Amino acid sequence: MTMLTGEKPDRKRVLLKVSGEALMGGGAFGVDQKTVERIASDVAAVVHSGVEVCLVVGGGNIFRGVAAAAKGMDRAQGDYAGMLATVINALLLQNALEREELPTRVMSAIDMSSIAEPYIRRRAVRHMEKGRVVIFAAGTGNPFFTTDTAAALRAAEMECDVLLKGTQVDGVYSADPKKDPSAKRYDQLSYMDVLAHDLNVMDAAAISLSRENKLPIIVFNIGEAGSFARVMRGEGPFTKIIEAS
């Protein structure tokens, strides 16, 4: 039974958004190899439990267009640089996943055929049906977006059951917990709660797209070893974002 036949799929498929900043480990910039290996091993554990996993990786550990624009750089040019940063992270993750003996493909939203396949939705679906871990690189391929939006977009295209945002905080708080230690963590929120209260853990475009596609979002701390598998078993801490009942 395949998605391409149009029949209801008999499988569990998830998209994990890996924070670029999480790849820094304890560092202030770039990539900590041990952290990449640990995240790859966490992904392998979930794949071995029978779940189809695809990934979107951020680039904030290397370059963010919006930060460069604040210092005078042209925003779109900075965003293209940011998207290239995600490709670097995708290649590093691919290598670490292959060392876990997982079959992988990197598919890029910006054409760079020497190092990654171009993103073609139906090919990505086939890769996943064959048990490959697909890493979606270069975000949406468009400036003025983020990899959170790319994650919501690819999760909808792949008909994933859930979008997991693996970030540096263990859920969505009433305020940024890095700035306000008294902020309270929520176990569950509606998409509208997040939008109406401007809870900036994820950008509004990603929340809106997920809402339109009835795609549940789970926000959790990917910095904790084994957290991806624990969240998949329903063990917290995490915040679930769904439609209000």
Ligand X SMILES: O=c1ccn([C@@H]2O[C@H](COP(=O)(O)O)[C@@H](O)[C@H]2O)c(=O)[nH]1
Ligand Y SMILES: Nc1ncnc2c1ncn2[C@@H]1O[C@H](COP(=O)(O)OP(=O)(O)OP(=O)(O)O)[C@@H](O)[C@H]1O
**Which parts of this chain interact with ligand X (CB under 6 A)?**
20, 58-60, 64-66, 78-79, 82-83, 85-86, 139-140, 142-143, 145-148, 150
Return d(Cα 99, Cα 212) in angstroms, integer.
37
Q: Where are the beta strands (DSSP E) in 22-115?
A: 52-57, 104-108
B/e letters for 62-82, b = 16+ CB within 10 Å, e = fewer, are bbbbeebeeeeeeeeebbbbb
The interface with ligand Y within residues 126-165 (CB under 6 A) comprises 147-148
Q: Which stretch binds ligand Y (CB under 6 A): 5-13, 53-61, 91-99, 133-141?
A: 53-61
Under 8 Å between Cβ of 189 and 134: no
For ligand Y, the binding residue among 65, 78, 177, 223 (CB under 6 A) is 177
3-state secondary structure of 47: helix
Closest to ligand Y by CB, 94 or 167: 167
Closest to ligand X by CB, 47 or 135: 135
Token pair of 204 as six digits: 């509004």
Please name the amino acid found at residue 195. L
223 binds, options ligand Y, ligand X, none, Cβ within 5 to 8 A by partner type: none
8 is in an annotated binding site: no
The interface with ligand Y within residues 195-224 (CB under 6 A) comprises 199-201
Under 8 Å between Cβ of 217 and 163: yes
Binding residues for ATP: 17-20, 60, 64, 167-168, 173, 176
Site residues, ligand Y (CB under 6 A): 19-21, 58, 60-61, 147-148, 167-169, 172-173, 175-178, 199-201
